Amino acid sequence: MNRSHYKLFHQKYNVIVVGGGPAGTTAAKYAAKSGAKVILFERDPVIGIPARCGEGVSKRGIKGFVPLKGPWIVNRLNQVELIAPDGNSIKLETSLIGYVLDRTKFDKVLGDYAEAAGARIVTEADVTNLIKNNGRVTGVRVNYKGSDYEVSGDIIIGADGVESRVGRWAGIKTMTKLDNMESALKINATNIKINPAACLFYFGREVAPGGYLWVFPKDAHHANIGIGISGNYSREKPAKYYLERFMGKYFPHVEWTNVVAGGVPCNPPLKQLTMDNVMLSGDAGHQVNPLTGAGIANALQAGKFAGEIAGEALRSPDPIDSSLKMYTKRWYRARGKHHKSNTRLKNAVNKLDDDKLNELARLMNKIPRNEWSFLKIFLLAIRSSPDLIIDCMKVFRKS
Amino acid sequence: MTKHIKPSHLEILPDICDLCGACIAVCPTNVMNIIHDKLFIDFEGCTYCSFCVDICPVRAIEECYN
């Protein structure tokens, strides 16, 4: 055994973070900032690779976490085009819709912030299980460059992505039902000709059943193109089939590289984000917008809460486990209502077949843009297509 | 929808698998794991529900019938 490894792994940490994505690095940063001794384990050799992500994000989602200027932002979008199954589209333009990120650089800078705050980051370190003593988690078992080590810690933060192995080992029910899971695939298109200011979203059962297909341009010739389809539909044909068909139809001569698969948990919020001294953050805690499948903003917020609360728990005279329960409460207070209403909205939208989506796009385009309001669209829809409203009502009805 | 006939075996295609973990997340019996950058199924607890086959974006798990 290497002497420096021995030293690194054979000391006790206050907080062990599993996973070096946005949730993990942010949790590590805020825990370290509060004075905790923090170590983060990342399975892959480099933080930020591979990026299982569409890389689109709103300004509000990242503000306060990274500067809004820097190499992690590759493009600014101010137009959005929602494309109905029949090809009719709704176009919107504002001063800023959002950013396209370079997740490799974005994740790296978040890792740098965590290290600057005092957290130790170890890559190529695969956490293979939790260590339990009398039913209580006392640390993690980690495989680092082929050797196994046991590292002990007071608090474990599982930010290990959709598979949420830490959550499962700890006994938190993190299983995602097949119909709540989006089966996703992303490619980098390299010689495309595209409006660099507009993100495109394609809807419909033919294009992306139970989900949508998106195009996020990085510049006039490069774009991230990806798809998410509901697990309900992916038995018939996988996401790969739909994406290849789309590319063949819309961008037949475009070259693409870097195919990345992914699963997006579009669940109702988890009832309990902690178990004793274990906390879950990001995709692992199902902290994803269930309507859009967007995870970055939620992961940052969740990581911040988790890190802060871990720090508070360590300082508090109360038992750690009871202090950590505050995490679920704080998360629900900040995002719970939004998460629940978006879950209902997702379920309603998924019920709309292609004819209804076409109808909705047609109706919305009848209203001048400067008069767009939810009420106006609502009233118009009632007049023309009463059954659309029944679906909309379901969204706002308490479940 | 046709009724799912349980396969006799599930085979992981490591060259196609991207280790994204979607299958692990939907596994109701928690028998899937990634060990040393490879996906495994512990067949002792597997119920052959095929959710992992269904969710895989790239079809890296195959159902085998004898």
Give the model confidence (pLDDT) of A126-147 as tens digits: 999 999 999 899 999 999 988 9
Domain with CATH 3.50.50.60 in chain A: 3-50+105-174+270-324
Q: Does B62 touch chain A (CB under 8 A)?
A: no
Cβ neighbours around A5 below 10 Å, total: 14
How many Å apart are CA A194 and CA A335, to the nearest integer?
Answer: 35
CATH of domain A3-50+105-174+270-324: 3.50.50.60
How much is the pLDDT for A276? 96
Q: In B, which residues are within 8 Å of A165 by CB distance?
A: 24, 33
Give A18→chain B minimum CA distance, Å: 14
How much is the pLDDT for A383? 61
Q: Is the per-residue pLDDT at A399 higher than 50?
A: no
Give B65→chain A minimum CA distance, Å: 17
How many Å apart are CA A154 and CA A48, to the nearest integer?
Answer: 27
How many Å apart are CA A331 and CA A333, to the nearest integer?
Answer: 5
Q: Which CATH superfamily is domain A72-101+178-265 in?
A: D-Amino Acid Oxidase, subunit A, domain 2 (3.30.9.10)
User: Which DSSP helix (H) or strand (E) runs through A314?
Assistant: helix A296-315
How many Å apart are CA A114 and CA A121, to the nearest integer?
Answer: 8
How much is the pLDDT for A5? 78
Residue A250: partners with Cβ closer than 8 Å, 6 or more residues away: none
Residue A300 three-state SS: helix
Q: Is the per-residue pLDDT at A398 higher than 50?
A: no
Domain with CATH 3.30.9.10 in chain A: 72-101+178-265
Nearest to A263 among B22, B50, B59 (CB): B22
Distances from the Cα of A130 to the Cα of A135, A149, A154, angstroms: 11, 12, 12
Give A182→chain B minimum CA distance, Å: 8
Which domains can be identified in chain B, with CATH numbers?
9-64 (3.30.70.20)
DSSP string, A8-55: HHSS-EEEEEE--SHHHHHHHHHHHHTT--EEEE-SSSSTT-S--S--
How much is the pLDDT for A7? 86
How much is the pLDDT for A368? 76
Residue A293 three-state SS: coil
> Is the ipTM here above 0.90?
yes
* Residue % of chain A over a pLDDT of 90: 76
Contact A226, A214 (CB under 8 A): yes
How many Å apart are CA A66 and CA A211, to the nearest integer?
Answer: 29
pTM assigned to the model? 0.92
pLDDT digits over A312-353, tens only? 999 999 999 999 999 999 999 999 998 998 888 888 788 888
Mean pLDDT of chain A: 91
